[in-house]
Amino acid sequence: MATMPMEYVARALEMDETRGMMKAIIDAESEQILGFTVLGVEGGELMSAVQLAMMGKLPYTALRDAIFAHPTIAECLNNLFARVE
């Protein structure tokens, strides 16, 4: 599992919209993303990116190690998936 408050998201800080959080559930064996929740600015955009990874059966490490455009909300996925416990 990985959780992160939106106040850790650089773009959310720039937009002064830091309310909310993200949470992802990961299968320990396959490393696939089983579920994702986001309550915060541009949550639908984040959800779509994670949904594509889930549909493609990518391991969470694909999002953790990806290079995302800056400044975007999506670049927070690196930090979220780096927090997998």
Choosing from 11, 70, 74, 77, the catalytic residue is 70
Which residue has tokens 């930090």? 79
Contact in structure between 33 and 50 (CB atoms under 8 Å): yes
Helix (H, G, I), strand (E, B) or coil at 37: strand
Amino acid at 8: Y
Q: Is-catalytic flag, 70?
A: yes
- List the catalytic residues: 70
